[in-house]
């Protein structure tokens, strides 16, 4: 006498459908659904406790049954689309008649503020900036003149030193030639 195979009913969601299958093990359920991914480890599949799902799955062992998510339709091999309720009727808003009164009196615009103080401050700033630029130009000219004067002074010093060293050398040679020791 053959021993009856004990089946468990597993449930998962695929796309827009709830699916149940009666299988010996989780691996058999995954094979029936045609997936290699372990949906049980991911928490996307579980043992079903819905009595209607259990009854439908046990009637068709090892065959995945489906129904639209959230519907109360029975599980079947080819689930239909869920019944979509009619959208609520849109009421057209009642139009209100607004009485128009006389046009509001326009208030005279305030005169623009006095700009003379701002203009004077801008002119003062411009004058200060121009004066600074002139001072910088004068300082640059003075620096250039001082640099030229320093270069000329250095040239004079080098020429004078060279002449003095030549005279010193000549005097040493003359002194030594005369018998002196230096």
Q: Which of 21, 9, 14, 30 is nearest to 69 (CA)?
A: 14
54 within 8 A of 48, measured Cβ to Cβ: yes
pLDDT band at residue 98, thresholds of 50, 70 and 90?
Answer: confident
* pLDDT tens per residue across span 38-61: 999 999 999 999 998 899 999 999
The span from the CA of 75 to the CA of 63, in Å, is: 11
Give the domain ranges of the chain.
8-68, 114-182
* pLDDT tens per residue across span 119-170: 999 999 999 999 999 999 999 999 999 999 999 999 999 999 999 999 999 9
The span from the CA of 161 to the CA of 64, in Å, is: 112
What mean pLDDT value characterizes the chain? 88
* pLDDT tens per residue across span 123-136: 999 999 999 999 99
Residue 99: pLDDT above 80? no
The span from the CA of 51 to the CA of 146, in Å, is: 107
| Structure-token pair, residue 43 | 């928490």
């Amino acid at each position: 006498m053959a021993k009856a195979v004990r089946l468990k009913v597993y449930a998962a969601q695929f796309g827009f459908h709830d699916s149940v299958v009666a299988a010996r093990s989780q691996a058999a359920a995954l094979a029936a659904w045609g997936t290699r991914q372990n949906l049980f480890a991911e928490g996307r599949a579980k043992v079903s406790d819905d009595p209607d799902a259990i009854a439908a799955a046990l009637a068709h062992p090892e065959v995945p049954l489906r129904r639209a998510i959230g519907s109360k339709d029975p599980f079947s091999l080819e689930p239909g689309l869920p019944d979509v309720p009619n959208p609520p009727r849109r009421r057209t808003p009642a139009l209100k008649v607004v009485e128009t009164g006389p046009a509001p009196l326009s208030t005279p615009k305030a005169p623009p503020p006095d700009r003379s103080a701002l203009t004077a401050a801008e002119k003062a700033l411009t004058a200060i900036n121009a004066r600074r630029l002139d001072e910088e130009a004068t300082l640059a000219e003075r620096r250039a003149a001082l640099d030229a004067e320093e270069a000329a002074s250095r040239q004079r010093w080098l020429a004078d030193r060279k002449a003095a060293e030549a005279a010193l050398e000549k005097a040493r040679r003359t002194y030594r030639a005369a018998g002196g020791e230096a």
